[in-house]
């Protein structure tokens, strides 16, 4: 024998009802069953609303009642063939006539007691189960309608009546023995010894089903609902939440305490007592296994689920008067109990100097008052401080019996929170080891849930969640590099990378599951118009742990958001130089923010693309070296341009080629004007801990005066042609001396110069070719001979690879 229960959400309309009827038919073919039904979706609420209207003398209750009646009559007509409808229609009509009388009474005396309320709402189940029993007959099933008021006996605590189990069990058994057929039972309703109607409280239909399962010693109990079982976390907050295959009764209790609303285990007690397995099944995906709740569940996972409670306040009670004084906690909890404040979590360290208590925020003011009252004299005497209230907190909890046998659960939990920069304000774990709870700020809750979910449930891989602004040359190359390398990273490095947000200057797109990178997802008109604020808000609202903003634009506007991004605990990786080469204050403040909050900000490609320049310099400084002089060819495009020029190609053509090859900035005037190199030497100087401002850099521009204000890049390149001779003359002059033209930067004594030089064959820059960069660091340690870094310093591949390497490096710091 198996008991099935269908809630209101499974029977809201004709289509859903038909689906339920076929599930019942199928199940009944496989063995003996009995079925408990709730009222049709929304009916209980409507019955109550109607009563409220009547009680407030609002005649509109009549129209509402009529609508309810029509809804039920209509369902009868749709479910039962015409020739058999009349008896069922009569049953429904008689019930609604009774209801009409009842409401009229409420309307007249303007009173709606809990006794009347139970009677009124009982009509919902009584009508739905009756109609469904008749409809099932049409499917060839031999059903027997059972109004549970006949068999479930309770006291007269209306609204939440207590069951008299000995009598109830006997009555159920007797009814079952005398009536052979498929029992269709009204959920939720019961009656007193005197025959007054009562109801069984929250999730009462589940309770009815559990009572029947216990009384009939059922082999199992199935709760059919509109979700796929109990999930590992709230799927509204954790997109990757999955169904938990098995839970023990204890685990189900713990999870439900924290608001997993699928089952309310108190209602399952009768079944649990008899160790009857309970299945939570999805009416709309009946083939899915759902969740099994039983005495001892199996699992390979360390925990079963992650849960949370919002709107919590922490009270901190502390002072020297607490230490080694017997009875303090009894007084604290006594005072709270007297004023009906429920304590959710308690934590006291062995120093006994403070007691920390989590309660509902709604109780915080009252709790502070009563505790301060209780300790009035201690506070006056300075032995105890006033109670400190921390509002806007949440409790996050990992639940599972397996923690008992395996060390490391709490380590994993706190590591995941810590790596995501989530501060833990209080901790509690009972010796049952069924639950570890941490109190965190409410605004960190979603991120915390996701961090824990990743840490405990997803593969053991770390996942970086990327939001990429700038899907241009570098951005696209990066996407395809990640795509090519993903499998290897997942396998060998246990790192997974997902891109959830993409934007160029016109459009943006999001994907909670992560874009399919093999399809080169470039945002277009089918997506959303780009709006930077909306992009960042969406990124924050997705609230992934290990989120990274990758900025592959050259945009000042995007760079200006970095502080806000870091503040929202999202790491940044970027080749965009605008943030680090702006004001010195801005540069310092970003570094400080990233350092203090431990949110990474990586920008290796700001200088010399993928060449390890920034990291090397940072290592030198961190290990105590001091930079004396930096000399560099820092522009791949400029090196290419002057190298190619020497082959006799006109200047304007080589500039166009450099752009074509992806060496230049989005606007090549940024390279030719020396601005790009100026930015780079400024960044290097600042990385070398020098207080450099833009004014400290003198720049020689290669942009002819009349080309400077051209409106477009095309117009600029066109106009540049008229200056080819000028550049040819510069080249000839250098050639005459057997020298080469190099666009270089030098930083020494707090001043930098950027410009074109002619260098002889002795100079290290003489041998550079193509898009090469070369950087010479003369430092206290590298004094006699400088440290030299050389190689291609511009281009899509070497830049995207550098950005990619920064992203991978981030993986080392995340969980």
Ligand X SMILES: NC(=O)C1=CN([C@@H]2O[C@H](COP(=O)(O)OP(=O)(O)OC[C@H]3O[C@@H](n4cnc5c(N)ncnc54)[C@H](O)[C@@H]3O)[C@@H](O)[C@H]2O)C=CC1
Ligand Y SMILES: N[C@@H](CC=O)C(=O)O
Q: Which residues bind ligand Y (CB under 6 A)?
A: 609, 635-637, 663-665, 671, 676, 793-794
Please tell me whether residue 714 binds ligand X under the rule CB under 6 A.
Answer: no
Question: Is 281 a residue of the active site?
Answer: no
- Residue from the set 148, 216, 451, 611 that interacts with Na ion by CB under 5 A: 611
Interface of this chain with ligand X, residues 442 to 471, rule: CB under 6 A: 469-471
For the bound state, the minimum distance from the C-beta of residue 775 to ligand Y, rounded and expressed in Å, comes to 12
The item of Na ion, ligand X, ligand Y, none sharing an interface with residue 764, based on CB under 5 to 8 Å by kind, is: none
- Residue from the set 608, 656, 684, 747 that interacts with Na ion by CB under 5 A: 608
Give strand pairing partners of 602. Answer: 573
The item of ligand Y, Na ion, ligand X, none sharing an interface with residue 505, based on CB under 5 to 8 Å by kind, is: ligand X
* Residue 481: other Cβ atoms inside 10 A: 18
Please tell me whether residue 687 binds Na ion under the rule CB under 5 A.
Answer: no
- CB nearer to ligand Y: give 554 or 572: 554
Q: How far apart are CA 253 and CA 225, in angstroms?
A: 18
| DSSP annotation of 398 | E
Q: Tell me how far apart the 2 most distant CA atoms of the chain are, in Å.
A: 118
- Whether 389 and 537 have beta carbons less than 8 Å apart is answered as no
Integer angstrom CA distances of residue 71 from 103, 124, 442, 483, 735: 18, 12, 43, 54, 95
- CB nearer to ligand X: give 245 or 472: 472
Q: How far apart are CA 60 and CA 46, in angstroms?
A: 13
Residue nearest to ligand Y (CB): 637
- Residue from the set 434, 466, 558, 570 that interacts with ligand X by CB under 6 A: 558
- CB nearer to ligand Y: give 214 or 478: 478
Integer angstrom CA distances of residue 213 from 132, 220, 383: 20, 7, 57
- Residue from the set 254, 374, 665, 772 that interacts with ligand X by CB under 6 A: 665
Residue 133, classed as helix, strand or coil, is helix
Please tell me whether residue 804 binds ligand X under the rule CB under 6 A.
Answer: no
Helix axes 114-137, 14-30, angle to 10 degrees: 70
**Piece in contact with ligand X (CB under 6 A), picked from 554-562, 681-689, 695-703, 760-768:** 554-562
- Give 38's Cβ-side CA count (13 Å radius): 25
For the bound state, the minimum distance from the C-beta of residue 369 to ligand X, rounded and expressed in Å, comes to 52
The item of ligand Y, Na ion, ligand X, none sharing an interface with residue 684, based on CB under 5 to 8 Å by kind, is: none
Choose, from 680, 736, 740, 751, the residue flagged as catalytic: 680
The item of ligand Y, ligand X, Na ion, none sharing an interface with residue 604, based on CB under 5 to 8 Å by kind, is: Na ion
The item of Na ion, ligand Y, ligand X, none sharing an interface with residue 671, based on CB under 5 to 8 Å by kind, is: ligand Y
Q: How far apart are CA 298 and CA 667, in angstroms?
A: 61
- CB nearer to ligand Y: give 254 or 676: 676
Total length of the chain: 815
- Residue from the set 605, 639, 690, 773 that interacts with ligand X by CB under 6 A: 605
- CB nearer to ligand Y: give 453 or 578: 578
Q: Is 812 exposed, middle or buried (0-12, 13-18, 19+ CB in 10 A)?
A: exposed
For the bound state, the minimum distance from the C-beta of residue 637 to ligand Y, rounded and expressed in Å, comes to 3
201 torsion bin: left (phi>0), alpha (psi -120 to 50), beta (else): left
Tokens of 186: 């009204």
Please tell me whether residue 473 binds ligand X under the rule CB under 6 A.
Answer: yes
| DSSP annotation of 422 | P
* Residue 86: other Cβ atoms inside 10 A: 11
For the bound state, the minimum distance from the C-beta of residue 681 to ligand Y, rounded and expressed in Å, comes to 12
Please tell me whether residue 663 binds ligand X under the rule CB under 6 A.
Answer: yes
The item of Na ion, ligand X, ligand Y, none sharing an interface with residue 613, based on CB under 5 to 8 Å by kind, is: Na ion
DSSP string, 665-695: -SSTHHHHTSHHHHHHHHHHHHHTT----GG
Tokens of 670: 């940024």
Separate counts of helices (H) and strands (E) for the chain: 27, 29
The item of Na ion, ligand Y, ligand X, none sharing an interface with residue 473, based on CB under 5 to 8 Å by kind, is: ligand X
- Binders of ligand X: how many residues, by CB under 6 A? 31
Q: How far apart are CA 392 and CA 557, in angstroms?
A: 33
Please tell me whether residue 503 binds ligand X under the rule CB under 6 A.
Answer: yes
Please tell me whether residue 604 binds Na ion under the rule CB under 5 A.
Answer: yes
| DSSP annotation of 11 | S
Binding residues for Na ion, per CB under 5 A?
604, 608, 611, 613
As annotated, the active-site residues are 680
């Amino acid at each position: 024998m198996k008991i099935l229960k269908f809630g209101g959400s499974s029977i809201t309309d004709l289509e859903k009802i038909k689906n339920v009827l076929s599930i019942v038919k199928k199940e009944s073919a496989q063995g003996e069953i009995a079925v408990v039904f709730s009222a049709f979706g929304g009916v209980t609420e409507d019955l109550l609303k109607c009563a409220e209207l009547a009680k407030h003398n609002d005649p509109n209750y009549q129209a509402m009642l009529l609508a309810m009646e029509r809804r039920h009559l209509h369902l009868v007509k749709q479910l039962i063939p015409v020739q058999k409808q009349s008896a069922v229609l009569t049953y429904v009509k008689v019930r609604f006539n009774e209801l009409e009388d009842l409401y009229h009474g409420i309307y007249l005396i303007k009173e709606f007691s809990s006794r009347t309320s139970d009677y009124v709402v009982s009509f919902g189940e009584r009508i739905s189960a009756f109609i469904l029993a008749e409809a099932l007959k049409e499917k060839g099933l031999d059903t027997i309608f059972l109004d549970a008021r006949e068999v479930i006996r309770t006291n007269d605590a209306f609204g939440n009546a207590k069951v008299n189990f000995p009598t109830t069990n006997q009555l159920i058994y007797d009814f079952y023995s005398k009536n052979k057929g498929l029992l269709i039972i009204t959920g939720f309703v019961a009656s007193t010894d005197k025959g007054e109607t009562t109801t069984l409280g929250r999730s009462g239909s589940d309770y009815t089903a559990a009572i029947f399962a216990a009384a009939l010693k059922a082999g199992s109990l199935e709760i059919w609902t509109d979700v796929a079982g109990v999930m590992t976390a709230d799927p509204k907050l954790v997109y990757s939440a999955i169904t938990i295959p098995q839970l023990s009764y204890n685990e189900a209790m713990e999870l439900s305490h924290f608001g997993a609303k699928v089952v309310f285990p108190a209602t399952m007690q009768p079944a649990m007592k008899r160790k009857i397995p309970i299945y939570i099944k999805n009416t709309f995906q009946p083939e899915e296994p759902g969740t099994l709740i039983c005495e001892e569940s199996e699992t390979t996972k360390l925990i079963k689920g992650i849960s949370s409670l919002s709107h919590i306040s922490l009270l901190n009670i502390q002072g020297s008067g607490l230490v080694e004084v017997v009875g303090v906690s009894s007084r604290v909890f006594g005072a709270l109990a007297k004023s009906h404040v429920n304590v959710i979590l308690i934590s006291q360290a062995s120093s006994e100097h403070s007691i920390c208590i989590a309660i509902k925020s709604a109780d915080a003011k009252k709790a502070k008052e009563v505790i301060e009252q209780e300790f009035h004299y201690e506070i006056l005497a300075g032995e105890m401080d006033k109670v400190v209230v921390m509002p806007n907190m949440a409790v996050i909890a990992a639940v599972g019996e397996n923690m008992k046998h395996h060390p490391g659960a709490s380590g994993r939990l706190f590591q995941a929170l810590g790596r995501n920069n989530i501060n833990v304000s209080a901790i509690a774990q009972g010796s049952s080891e069924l639950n570890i709870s941490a109190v965190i700020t409410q605004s960190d809750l979603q991120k915390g849930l996701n961090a824990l979910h990743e840490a405990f449930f997803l593969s053991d891989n770390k996942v970086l969640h990327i939001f990429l602004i700038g899907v241009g040359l570098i951005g696209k190359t990066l996407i395809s590099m990640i795509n090519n390398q993903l499998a290897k990273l997942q396998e060998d490095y246990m790192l997974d990378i997902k891109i959830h947000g993409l934007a160029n200057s016109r459009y943006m797109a999001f994907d909670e599951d992560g874009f399919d990178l093999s399809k080169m997802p470039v945002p277009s008109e089918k997506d959303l118009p780009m709006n930077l604020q909306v992009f960042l808000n969406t990124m924050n609202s997705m609230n992934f742990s290990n989120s990274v903003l990758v900025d592959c634009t050259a945009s000042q506007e995007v760079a200006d958001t970095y502080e806000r991004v870091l503040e929202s605990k999202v790491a940044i990786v970027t080749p965009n130089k605008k943030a680090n080469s702006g004001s010195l204050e801005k540069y310092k403040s970003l570094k400080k923010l990233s350092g203090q909050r431990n949110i990474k900000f990586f920008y290796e490609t700001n200088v010399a693309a993928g060449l390890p320049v920034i990291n090397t310099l940072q290592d030198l400084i961190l290990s105590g070296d001091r930079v004396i002089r930096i000399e560099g060819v820092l522009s791949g495009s400029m090196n290419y341009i002057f190298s190619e020029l020497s082959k006799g190609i006109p200047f304007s053509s080589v500039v166009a080629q450099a752009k074509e090859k992806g060496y230049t900035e989005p606007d090549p005037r940024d390279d030719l004007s020396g601005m790009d190199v100026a930015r780079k030497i400024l960044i290097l100087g600042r990385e070398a801990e020098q207080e450099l401002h833009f004014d400290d850099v003198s720049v020689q521009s290669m942009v002819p005066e009349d080309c400077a204000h051209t409106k477009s890049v095309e117009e600029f390149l066109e106009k540049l042609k008229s200056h080819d001779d000028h550049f040819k003359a510069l080249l000839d002059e250098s050639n005459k001396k057997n020298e080469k033209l190099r666009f270089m930067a030098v930083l020494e004594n707090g001043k930098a110069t950027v410009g074109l030089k002619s260098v002889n064959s002795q100079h290290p820059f003489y041998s550079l070719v193509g898009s090469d960069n070369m950087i010479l660091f003369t430092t206290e340690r590298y004094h006699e001979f400088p440290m030299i870094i050389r190689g291609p310093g511009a281009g899509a591949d070497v830049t995207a690879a550098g950005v990619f390497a920064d992203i991978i490096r981030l993986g080392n710091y995340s969980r």
